[in-house]
Structure 1
Amino acid sequence: MTTFIEALSDIFVFIIGLAVLGLIVLFFIDRFQTEDTVRRNYPVIGRMRYILSELGEFFRQYFFAMDREEMPFNRAQRDWVDDASKAKSTNVAFGSTRNLDPVGTPIFVNCPWPTLERDAETSAPLRIGDGAARIPYDAPSVFNISGMSYGALSTPAIRALSHGAAKAECWLNTGEGGLAPYHLEGGCDLVFQIGTAKYGVRDEDGNLSDEKLREIAAHDQVRMFEIKLSQGAKPGKGGILPASKVNKEIAEIRGITQGEASISPNRHIDISSNDELLDQIAHIREVTGKPVGFKTVMGAYGWLETLFEEINRRGPESAPDFITVDGGDGGTGAAPLPLIDNVGLTLREALPMLVDIRDEAGLKDRIRVVASGKLVTPSEVAWALCAGADFVISARGFMFALGCIQAMKCNKNTCPTGITTHDPSLQRGLDPANKAVRVANFVKQMRKEVGVIAHSVGVPSPRGMKRYHVRLVCADGRSRPLDELYPAVGVQPG
C-alpha cells in the first residue's frame, strides 16, 4: 500500500513538474515573440485575455444576455422556432417580454369582431409565371425555405430540408451551389438558383450552358429558376466557399476544381443592364419552360423604375415572374463585416418600396414579390404580408429548426451542430429523419400562427392582410398605420 501511494505521489510530482516546465516554456515564448504586445509585456497571463474573449460570446449567450438582447437573433426568437419545430406549445405566460417602444416595432390592429375559426381559410396556392412560362407554378405555401447551397450546408442538413419541405408542402431554394441529389431526395418542390458563377449550369469556361439548363429543368421537382443578383450577406460581392469545403462531390456538382476556394464574381458578367437582365430572364424561361425571377438587395432603386418602364414597353410577358427582395442586414453567407453591417437597405424599408414601384407600373398581377430577411417568427412574417409580399422565405429560421445554436462558426467548417460543416464527426450528430420532422413542424406552426394574427385583425386568411392592419412605432413614441407611412398606390390611407 505504501509503495502504491509513493508511486501516485511520484506521478503527481511529475505532472506538476511538466506543468511548471510548460509554463516556463510559454513564458520565454511570450517574452521574446514580437507579434503580440500583451503577451510580450505579460507572459503567460496575457494569454488569458484571448481565452476569456473567445469564451465571452458563449457566456453572454447562456448566462448574461436577456431574452430579447442578442443579435442577430435573440433567445426569444430562437426559442419560438425551437418550440415550433419540436411541436411544443409556443404559448407564454405573464405578459410580453418584448419592449414595444423601439422605433419600427409592428403593432397589429385587432378587430373587435375577429374571424371565427369556422370561417377561417388557408392561403390558396398562388400561380407564378402565368401567361409567360410554359409550365407555371402553383405555389402551395405562403412560407418557404430560402437559398442555402449544398457545400455551405452539409449533406444531412440538405436531406433534412428536402424531406421536411415535402412534408410541409413548401418549396426549397437550392442556393447558388447547384443541384445536389440530396435536394431531390425528399421529393419537394425546388427553386434552382443561378448565382454569378452559374454553378451547376455552367460550361467549361464558366458561361451559362443551355444544355445543362435543360438537364436541370427536366426534373419535375424543379419548379422555378432564380437569378441571384445579390443577397443580404453580400450585396455587391460574390459567394465564398472555403477550399476546405470543396470536396470531390461538391466540385462535380458545381463544375469547379476540387480543393480550391470557390469565389463567385461580384455580379453576372453577362448582365450589366436592365435590357440584358430581361433578355437573360426571357432566354432561361424559353430554354426551361419554367418561371424565372431574380433576387436582389435594394440600395439604389431608380433602376427598378427604369426596369418596369422597359417591361411595359416590351410587354408584360417580358417581366420576371417573381422578384425576391432580401434585407441588407446579413444572411447565412460568410462575408466581409462592412457588407453585412452597412450595405443595402433593410427589408423594413425595401419591401414596401419595391411593392409600390411594381404596383405603380401596373404589374401587381404579373410579378410576385418574395420577401426574405430575418423573418423567423409569425409577427415578422405577418408584417411582410401586410407590406405587400406574396410569399415569405427564411434561411436562418430553418437553420434553427435543424438545431442551430447560433455558434457563429458557419464559415469555419467547425459547426457544432453539423449544419454547416463537412467534418463527418460533426455531421453525425444531425439526424436527417428527425430534423425533417422539425422542419415540417416549423412551417406548419408558422402558417398556423400567421393565420391567428390574420384572424385577429379580422380577415379569413394571411394574404388578406393589408397595410392598414399594422402600425409601426415612430420616433415620437406614437404608432402610425403602415398605409400612412407607405401609402399603397391608388389606395387612400385609412
Structure 2
Amino acid sequence: MDIIRRTPDILATTFILVVGLAALVIVALFVIDLSQTTNAVRHNFPVLGRFRTIFTKLGEFFRQYFFALDREELPFNRTEREWVYRSAQGGNNTVAFGSTQPLLQNGTLLFVNAPFPVQEHDAHPAPPRVIGPNCPQPYTAVSLINISGMSYGAISTPAVRALSRGAALAGCWLNTGEGGLSPYHLEGGCDIVFQIGTAKYGVREPDGTLNEARLREVAAHEQVRMIEIKLSQGAKPGKGGILPAAKVTEEIARIRGISPDTDSISPNRHPEVGTTGELLDFIGRVRGITGKPTGVKCVVGDPAWLNELCIEIRARGPDAAPDFITVDGAEGGSGAAPLALIDAMGLPIRLALPAVVDALARHGLRERVRVIASGKLVTPVEMAWAFCAGADFVVSARGFMFALGCIQALRCNRNTCPTGITTHNERLQRGLNPREKAVRVANYVAEMRHGLEMIAHSCGVAHPLALERRHCLLVGGALMPVSLAERHPPPQQNQA
C-alpha cells in the first residue's frame, strides 16, 4: 500500500527531472549556438536553427517514400526500382489501367510494333557472339545482359559473393571493376571480365605501373575470360576511382596492393597512355601478356576522337583494334564522384552509343570491334533501345544493386549503406545473404531477357540482336516522334 501511495510522487519527481534535464539541454544548446560563429543560422536562431540541418538530412527520405511521384525521382524513380524488385523476387510484373509514363514527354522511347509479331515457335535466342576471334583464347559470349564493373571495396564481400553466384546461375559474365580480382569473384564459378583501372589495382607495381607477372597470374584463371582497360567511367570522366579510407580494409588493401586505412585515389588516366597510338600499344601489350580478348571502357567526350582512333587502327591493321569497347554514359554510377563531373561531364549514353557504332561502321571496323553499352540501363525498354542503336551486349551495375536490395539511400560513397551492399560494417552486412540474393540476381537477368525478347517479337524480329534503329522512336519537339534511324542515320559500312 505504501508503494501505491508513493507512486504518484515518484512519477511527479521523474517528470520534473525529465523536464529539468530537457530544459538544461536546451539552455546548453542555446549558449553553444549563440557563442559559435561558423553557422549563421544557428547563431541567429539558437536551437531552432538546428532543425534546418535535421530536416535537410531527412528530406530525401521523406521525398522518396511520401512525396515524390512514381515517375519523377532521380537518378531512378520508384517505378523503375519497383520493377527491378519484383523481377528479382520472381513476382508478377504486369500492371493495370494504363501507363503512368508521360508518352509525349521529350526523350520518351517508343517502339514500332509490327502488324504481324513473331510467334513464339518462330522465335529463337540470339546467336552467341565471339569476342576477340584472333586471340589465342577468344571468348564466345552467350548472354546479351551482363554485370558491369563494381569494385570489391566499393561493394561488400557478401555483395560480390551474391553477384558471382547469381551470374553463374544466369549464365552471364561479371566485371570485377577496378579493385582487383578477389576470391569472392571466383567463388560462384561465373565468367569474369577483369578490369584494369588507372591505378592498376591487383596488377600494379609499387609505383603504379603494370606488373606483368601479376597480370599473367590473374589471366591464368580459367574463369577470367576478357580484360577491360578502363579509361574513364560515367560517374567521373576525367578523374580516377575514389574509395574513402573508411572502406579500405586490410583485405581490400592487400588485394589492391595499397596501404590500408588511407583514401584509395586512382590517377585520372593511365600514365603510360597519353595518345591514341599509346593506347593501342597498351591494348596490344595486355593482349599479348594474357592471350585473352582485351578492350577499353570509356565515356565519350569529343566524338572526333573516335574518328582519330579508327584512323590509327586502319593504319596499323584491324588486329591492332580493341576487341571491344564498353561505352559508358555520363549518367553517373554507384561510386563516389565530384558533383561537377557527375552532373556535367561527358556525353549521355543516348548520344555516345550511336556515335561509337557509327564511327566503327564508317571505318569498316564494326564487325571487328564488339560494342558493349553501359549507363543507367536497368529495364528492358532502355536495353532494347541500346540494341536498336547497335550494341552487341548490355551491362548494368545499378540494376543489379537494386536486385540485391538497394533502396537508393544515396550512401554508396560512405560506409553506412543500410542494405549491406556498399558497406564493410559487418553488422549492416548481416542482412545480405549471398545465397538468397544470388537467386534474385538470376531472376532479374531472366526477367530482363524475357522483356527484351518480348519487345523484339512485338517489333517483328526473332531476337534482340535483330532490332534496328527503325524499330525505335524518340519523342521530341516535333508533332510525331522521330525514328532513331532518322535521328542517327546508319552510315554506309566500308570493308576493312
- TM category (shorter chain) comes to over 0.9
| Equivalent residue letter for 1:280 | F
What is the SS of the residue equivalent to 2:462? coil
Deviations 1:406-461 (A, max 9, x none): 00011111000000001111111111111100001001110111000000000011
1:17 CA displacement: 1.0
Deviations 1:49-103 (A, max 9, x none): 1111111111110011110000000000001100000000110000000001122
Superposed, which structure 2 residues align to 1:181-192 within 5 Å? 181-192=183-194
| Equivalent residue letter for 1:379 | V
The aligned counterpart of 1:378 is: 380
The aligned counterpart of 1:9 is: 12
Q: Determine what percentage of the aligned residue pairs are the same residue.
A: 60
Superposed, which structure 2 residues align to 1:243-392 within 5 Å? 243-392=245-394
The aligned counterpart of 2:226 is: 224
The aligned counterpart of 1:51 is: 54
> Alignment partner for residue 134 of structure 1, among 133, 136, 140?
136
Measured in 2, the distance between the counterparts of 1:334 and 1:295 equals 18
Measured in 1, the distance between the counterparts of 2:356 and 2:54 equals 46
Deviations 1:131-189 (A, max 9, x none): 2x110001110000000000000000000000000000000000000001000000000
Q: Work out whether residues 103 and 477 of structure 1, in 8 Å CA contact, stay in contact via their aligned partners in 2.
A: no
1:6 CA displacement: 1.8
Measured in 2, the distance between the counterparts of 1:86 and 1:358 equals 39
| Equivalent residue letter for 1:116 | Q
Superposed, which structure 2 residues align to 1:85-100 within 5 Å? 85-100=88-103
The aligned counterpart of 2:106 is: 103
Measured in 2, the distance between the counterparts of 1:45 and 1:205 equals 52
Q: Describe the shift of the 1:477–1:73 C-alpha distance in structure 2 as closer, same or farther (beyond 3 A).
A: farther
1:202 paired with 2:204, answer yes
1:68 paired with 2:88, answer no
The aligned counterpart of 1:450 is: 452
Q: Segments of 4+ in structure 1 off by > 3 A?
A: none
1:5 CA displacement: 3.0
Deviations 1:185-242 (A, max 9, x none): 0000000000000000001221101101100001000000000000000100011001
| Equivalent residue letter for 1:12 | F
1:257 CA displacement: 0.5
| Equivalent residue letter for 1:104 | G
| Equivalent residue letter for 2:149 | G
The aligned counterpart of 1:116 is: 119
The alignment covers a number of residue pairs equal to 490
| Equivalent residue letter for 1:455 | H
Measured in 1, the distance between the counterparts of 2:427 and 2:11 equals 36
Measured in 1, the distance between the counterparts of 2:344 and 2:41 equals 31
RMSD of aligned Cα (Å): 0.9
**Structure 2 unmatched runs, 5+:** none
Q: Work out whether residues 101 and 477 of structure 1, in 8 Å CA contact, stay in contact via their aligned partners in 2.
A: no
1:476 CA displacement: 2.2
Measured in 2, the distance between the counterparts of 1:60 and 1:23 equals 29
1:477 CA displacement: 3.7
Superposed, which structure 2 residues align to 1:71-82 within 5 Å? 71-82=74-85
After TM superposition, the score normalised by the length of structure 1 is 0.98
Measured in 2, the distance between the counterparts of 1:212 and 1:304 equals 31
Measured in 2, the distance between the counterparts of 1:104 and 1:146 equals 25
Measured in 2, the distance between the counterparts of 1:35 and 1:153 equals 35
1:247 CA displacement: 0.9
Q: Work out whether residues 329 and 342 of structure 1, in 8 Å CA contact, stay in contact via their aligned partners in 2.
A: no
Deviations 1:284-337 (A, max 9, x none): 111100000000001112222111111111111111000000111211111110
Deviations 1:365-396 (A, max 9, x none): 11000000000000000000000000000000
Measured in 1, the distance between the counterparts of 2:150 and 2:162 equals 13
Q: Work out whether residues 309 and 361 of structure 1, in 8 Å CA contact, stay in contact via their aligned partners in 2.
A: yes
Q: Work out whether residues 156 and 431 of structure 1, in 8 Å CA contact, stay in contact via their aligned partners in 2.
A: yes
Measured in 1, the distance between the counterparts of 2:367 and 2:388 equals 17
After TM superposition, the score normalised by the length of structure 2 is 0.98
**Structure 1 unmatched runs, 5+:** none
What is the SS of the residue equivalent to 1:408? coil
Q: Work out whether residues 156 and 430 of structure 1, in 8 Å CA contact, stay in contact via their aligned partners in 2.
A: yes
Deviations 1:14-57 (A, max 9, x none): 11111110011001001111011111111111111111111111
> Alignment partner for residue 38 of structure 1, among 21, 38, 41?
41
The aligned counterpart of 1:236 is: 238
